[in-house]
Structure formats: C-alpha cells, structure tokens
Structure 1
C-alpha cells in the first residue's frame, strides 16, 4: 500500500482502509471551513484553558502560603482525584440529558469552589480545610474537551451524504492539537500571574475563564449533540445504552493515560521546584511552555501525516519513546539542557495522546462517546494528581531532581500494561465490522 493511498482515517486510529488515490486528503483548512464550527470552537477554547491552569495554580498558591511542595501537591492531588472520579459521571449525564444541562450548574459550582479555595489558602486555613474545598473544585471542572469532540461528531457524522464524515479523523487530530495548545498557554499564563501579580492570580483567572467560557459554550445549542432518549443516543436507535468503562479497550487506555498524567504532574511540580532552587521562579513558566510547545508541534505533525503502521503499534511506539525520553530528566542540571529535554518529552507525548483518544472512537458506541472521552481525561487527571503528590514529597525531601523520576516511573508502568494487554485494544477481529472515525462502520485492521 503506497503512502499516498493510506487513509487519514487510519490516523484517527480506526481504519486502515484506503480511499481512492484521486480523493483529496482532508486537511485542517477544509475542516475549519465547515459551517457553524466556530460557534463552539472559540468559546470552547476559552473554557478549556482552566484545565491546564488549575493544577499549577493550586501548587503555586498553596506552596506560597504553606512553604511546602508536599502540601501543595497533596491539595492538587485531591482536586485531580475528585475530577477523575466525577468527570465520567458528568460525561454520562451529558450523553443522556444534554451538555447544557450538565455544564451550566457545573460551571457555577466550580467558580464558587475555586473562590472558596483561594480564600481559605490566603487565610492560612489548615490543610484539611483546603482538602474539603478541593473536592468540589475538582468534581466540577467542566469537561469541555470531550464535549467539543462530541460536537464535532454530531456536526460531521450527521451528514448523510458522507462528504463531511471524511473529516472526522482530521477533527480528532485537531482536537488533540488544541488540547496541547492549551497546555502551552495555560501553565505559562498561570505561572506568570502567580509570580508576577499575586500568588492567587492564576486561580482567579482560572475561575473567571471557566465562568465566562463555560457559559458561552453552553449557550451554543445548535451544535450540541441531541441527548439520548429512552436510553438510546442519536443515530444509535438499535444500540442499548452501555457504560464506556465496560469496554476492555477503554479500561486499558485509561490505565495507560495515567502515565500521561504522571508526566504532566511530575513536570509541573519538578520544574517549579527546579526554578525555585535556581532562585529564578519565573523560568518555570518558560520551561513548561517549551515542554508543552513540543507536545503541540508533534500533535500538528501527527494530525497531518498519513500513517502506514496501525494505531495499536503506534501507541506502543509512542509510549516507548516517552519512557526513553523521561529516563534522563533526573540527571539534568542546567536550564538549557532541561529545556531541550523537556521539548523532547513534549514531542513524545502527542503521538500517544492522539492515538489513544482516536482509538476510543472505534471501541465504544456513539451513545457512550462523551463518557469514554471523560474516562481518559479523568485518567490523565488522576495520574497528574498522584504525580504532583509524589513529586512534591520527593522535591521536599531530596530536591527537584528526585521529582523528575515520577514521569519515568509512570510511563514505564503504562508501557508494561500496554504491552501485556494490547490485544484488548482491537475493537473486533480483522475482517469484521468496527467503528470508523467517530461514527461510520468499515472493516478494520488495528496493527
């Protein structure tokens, strides 16, 4: 099979079937010219920024008020665990009752919870009080990324002619790039506000963006997927409602995404501690921005390539490269070297993330799509929560370099799980029917 005839759908991790050689390959430009998509993309971009700002904002504020990275990491971890537990339930409710019904009360609760957390931290409240405030803060984080992914599927997959449906894999790649872009802007913005304005300024901005962006996004009803009726979602009248977590492949991916979360959490705390040790806290934002920029650039490239190898194999290669890249973080002493290595780590994350997210589309029915995406998002948050706790304790006890061992341990464990359970990432046996992109059904090969 020539490179020119490999379908972009295979980039989405759901099909190796090729279009006709003369068919144009769908690109980002064509995708963004789809009528109506900007009405949810712009508010969605603003509303998803807080996800990248919350952890680092908590770490910087609580570390400032307590003087301990361990305490700061523990509060951030409670937030992450809470989000990981409640996000999938929110996704399930959004599939059933509609995004607006879940998003509006969630946004209001999150803003109030963040305000309470800030007030308690600045007042010098005991650690247990910060934990209490962190629970609703994490539980109410709006799951904008999964909701935007579901809107793409509703807008593109509902085209009966199939012309727009060819853009579904491109949309999946675009969403992964957008996620990475938020991790370029969000942590840098939060760090700059916390170090240059006030220790609470990062969380204040996070709460304001959640409120404004979330309400604007919820107001875009035209692109919202129709909620399920009588247990069945739109376009799936013959499909019984099922939990996404009942699918073995989703469980494997969720465990693997804990490793991705360990990289984000471990890098955030360890880079912050590294900058503090140098006596230059502001360099933390630059270092994390370089790391996230590598993630975004790799995402752009991955979304534009037509791959000759299957998604399951790409996932294993991506995690292998990520484990190798994180294996030397602990040994770096200088800012330039750490910046270069951080860029390399970022470049390795995007292929694993994109392949994992797009594999989900072939594993679950449309009626459980938002829930499935939120399980992966929640897994990243849970891995991040564990990482900030462990890395914070290690940084307090042994210095910043010890915290960099956390991303290595997390990715190595995730790789072992993928190697052992990779057969469960196949939606169905070769030659049978599996989902293509986000809605269509074609024969697939997953390797």
Structure 2
C-alpha cells in the first residue's frame, strides 16, 4: 500500500528499498561476529556506576561520597571517550580497544582494593580517573561497524535507522540485566562482586570484539602534521553534534538520578534488594520502546521524534519526587523508559546525516560521553540531596536535567539538519511525496 511519507523524516521508506526489519538487519554479512562479543564488552556502562555506588556506600556509609567517586569515573569517561573514538577512527578499533580493556581491568581492581582498605577519598578519586577514562567505547564502535557493514552491502542503507534502534535495544537490555546483576552480586555475594564481574566481562568481551578485525571500519590514518586536518575533522565542530551532546546530558541525568535515588528509596523502606528490579523495569521500558520504535516505518522526522521523546520524559520525571510506593515507582519507571528510547534512537539516527563517515565513531562517543557526564553530575547532586533530605529530593535531579535539555532542543533544533542542507533543502524537506511502504 502507499502512505504519504515525509522525505526528510523517513528516508528509510524509499520505494526502492525493502521494508526495514530486524530479521533483514541481522542477516547482514558478518553482523553476529561483532554483536555477541560486543554485548559482553559494553557492560561497563550498565554496571560500573551502580557497582561503585554500592561498594563505596558500603565502606563509607555515605551516598554523597559514593556518588562523588562514581561521578569522577563518569567525568573521566566523558572527557576521554571522544578521544578514544577519534583514535579508533584514525588507527583502527582493535589498536585502541586492546590496551584500553587491560587498563580498565587493572584500574577496577585497584579501586576495589582501595575501597575495601578504607583508603582516603583522594585515593579513591585517583583510582576512579583511570577507571572511567579506560571504559571501552564498544557501543559507538558497534554502531560504526553497523554503518560500515550496511554501506558495503548493496541495498541495505535503508536499514541504518533500524540498526540505530537495535543498538538502543541492546544498550537497554544491558541496563535491564546489568544493574540487577550488579545489585544481586553486591548484596548477595560481596560488596565488590559487582565491580569484579564488570571488569571480567569487559576484559573478555573487549578482547574477543577486538579480534574481529574484518568487520571494523577502515582506519583513516594519522592526519598530516601541521595540516590542521585533525582539528577540522572533529565531530564536535558540527553544531548539530554539540546540540545532541547537550541533549544527551539530560538522558544521563535521568540514568544517574534514578540509580542513586532508587537505591536510597530501597534502603529507606528496608528492602535494598528491590533497587535492582525497579531499575530493571525502568530499563525494560526503554528496551520495549526501542523494539517497537525500530520496527515501525515513521512518517515523522527524527528531529520531531527527538523532541516528542524528551517532552514525554520531562513530564514523567516531574512526578517521580512525589511517589512513595514500589508499584507506582515501577509504573513510572516503565513510562520513563518508554520515553528514553525514542530520544536516544532519534539522536543516533541524526548523527549519520550530520558528520562524515570518517568521524562517525568520534561523534557517537561524544553522545555516549555526554550521557556519562550527565550521569556523573546527576549521581553527585542526587547523592548530596539524598544524604541531606532523603530519596525524594534525589528525584528532582532527573526533572532538572530533562527540562534543561528540552529547552535546548526546542531553541536549537534547526541545527540538526543534515550536512549540506541549505534554505532550499529545508523548503524541499518540508514537502511530502508518496512512497511505497509495507
């Protein structure tokens, strides 16, 4: 049948392309060789923060201290992740990933040892910096491999938005099992078991992922000395990438604020084990939304979907501080998760039109780093508020982060047009044409 499709919003619905779908995506040659090891290697983002919070809170008795240590880790990751992505674009993913996972495993081991030895706060900070800086950027690397594989395979470019949705689902699946696993290990085995498992998964998965060299994007090589090419090619020089990075700070604020505040809420009601399942429900909502989002051929553009997702996320975040019951938290957490996936998927989809392929991994890592930075700030602020005023105060942090991010999107969304779009292109994209869609 035929539907009227906005050509700016849904290039994936071109008449010459088959209907995008997960089955077709997963039949892409070589896809499974990087998906499976990549899944294990991307666990740090789901397990690291909650593992640090649970361990340091256990050894110090303070959510504020635990949040501060986790925040240092997040800031270090946010600062170093784009540099890691840039080096991966230039030198190859395996060249960057192998030493990175080795450093990360050693840094986590040092952080665990210091925390259990009741080391001073400055020593925990010193170990937290390399721990965060060395977090392997496997998620952006997988996204870059998808883009490369779909570009190399004829007739599959329409699957790029589906790949973005699939990666968001994969990310959120790790957030379903990661916090639950880390919480179960920390509360049921040993306070350091969550971090130890995170380091082991990162090391094994990262080395296996790095070994799949045939699917990695071709390195662009080192820029000529003194040419300025490296600076010109930076993904952050693109205004749209900067807007998306600021917007993704809001997603990080939701992740960080929810982790600390849900942990404190569970402690307040005398059921610390409920923290993992509650956060798992939140991430499950994101995963479910991502699955549906990637299976639909949209008639609205990614810019509009990004704004709508953020609007819903802001409205849900506005209610969290007033909730007192576990069932209601589960419902609102599910709704929050349902709103996050459209925002993340739309943002990652926009990147492909904003930057050149040679800067794609770096652009993805700027967004991932922005989430980490927002999460770090949220963990710090929510930890302080929770120590001073209880769990309810911590839930104000997701609201503040989403309100600010939504304001930036509403005022600067014109900068998210694809590269090369001028006023004529803008007018053309506002017109609609009929395209065949299953």
1:271 equivalent in structure 2: 262
Secondary structure at the counterpart of residue 225 of structure 1: coil
Higher helix share: 2
Match of 2:144 among 150, 170, 186: 150
Of 325, 337, 342, the residue aligned with 2:316 is 325
Distance 2:276 2:349 in 1: 30
Q: Secondary structure at the match of 1:199?
A: coil
Match of 2:412 among 421, 428, 432: 421
**Alignment deviations for residues 3-34 of structure 1 (CA, whole Å, 9 cap, x no partner):** 4x648x97xx6x547422x8530210111112
Aligned to 2:234: 243
Q: 1:241 and 1:24, CA in 2 relative to 1: closer, same or farther beyond 3 A? A: same
Residue of structure 2 in register with 1:166 after alignment = 158
Residues 310-338 of structure 1, C-alpha deviations (whole Å, 9 max, x = no match): 21111111111100000010000110111
- Which one of the candidate residues 102, 111, 115 is aligned to 1:121? 115
Instruction: Quote how far apart the aligned CAs of 1:230 are.
Output: 5.4
Question: Do the aligned partners of residues 70 and 262 (structure 1) sit closer, same or farther apart at CA in structure 2, a change above 3 Å counting?
Answer: same
TM-score (norm 2): 0.93
1:183 counterpart residue number: 175
Correspondence for 1:286? 277
Contact 1:322 1:345 in 2 (8 A): yes
Residue 61 of structure 1: aligned partner: 55
Deviations 1:196-255 (A, max 9, x none): 1110000000000010000000000110111003549xxxxx999610000000000000
Contact persistence 2:12–2:159 (CA under 8 A): no
Cα distance in 2 for residues equivalent to 1:42 and 1:81: 28
Contact conserved, 2:77 with 2:369, CA < 8 A, in 1? yes
Tell me if 1:44 matches 2:38.
yes
* Residue among 328, 332, 340 paired with 1:337: 328
User: Residue deviations 1:68-95, cap 9 Å, x none?
Assistant: 0000000000000000000000000000
How far 1:432 moved relative to its partner? 4.0
Q: SS state of the match for residue 34, structure 1?
A: coil
RMSD of aligned Cα (Å):
2.2
1:239–1:82 Cα change, 3 Å: closer
CA deviation after TM superposition for structure 1 residue 426, in Å: 1.2
Contact 2:17 / 2:155 at 8 angstroms: preserved in 1?
Answer: no
Unaligned runs of 5+ in 2: 433-438
Aligned to 1:103: 97
Question: Which of the numbers 299, 321, 328 marks the counterpart of 2:290?
Answer: 299
Q: CA deviation at 1:444?
A: 5.0
> In 2, are the aligned partners of 1:56 and 1:268 still within 8 Å (CA)?
yes
Residue 437 of structure 1 is matched in structure 2 by none
Identify the residue that residue 366 of structure 1 maps to in structure 2: 357
Output aligned runs, 1:402-417, within 5 Å. Answer: 402-417=393-408
Residue by residue, what CA displacement relative to the aligned partner does 1:259-306 show, whole Å, maximum 9, x if unpaired? 000000000000000000011100001100000000100011111111
| Misfit runs of 4+, over 3 Å | 15-18, 229-232, 238-241, 430-433, 443-447
**Over residues 150-201 of structure 1, what are the superposed CA-to-partner deviations in whole Å (9 max), with x where a residue is unaligned?**
1111111023xx3122322221211111111111111111111111111000
2:245 aligns to what? 254
Structure 2 CA distance for partners of 1:124 and 1:52, relative to 1, 3 Å: same
Supply the distance in 2 between the matched residues of 1:131 and 1:177 (Cα, whole angstroms).
32
**Structure 1 regions of 5+ residues with no counterpart?**
233-237, 434-442
Change in Cα spacing, 1:366 to 1:401, as seen in structure 2 (3 Å) is: same
Matching residue of 1:438: none
Judge conservation of contact 1:430–1:444 (CA < 8 Å) in 2.
Answer: no
Give the match's secondary structure for 1:112.
Answer: helix
SS state at 2:271 partner? coil
The secondary structure found in structure 2 opposite 1:64 is: helix
Verify the 8 A CA contact 2:25 2:163 in the aligned structure 1: yes
Q: Is the 8 A contact 2:12 2:158 kept in 1?
A: no
Instruction: Tell me: CA distance 1:85–1:431, structure 2 relative to 1, closer, same or farther (3 Å).
Output: same
User: How many Å separate the matches in 1 of 2:379 and 2:255?
Assistant: 9
Q: Is this contact kept in 2: 1:16–1:445, CA < 8 A?
A: no
Aligned residues: 425
Aligned twin of 1:219: 211
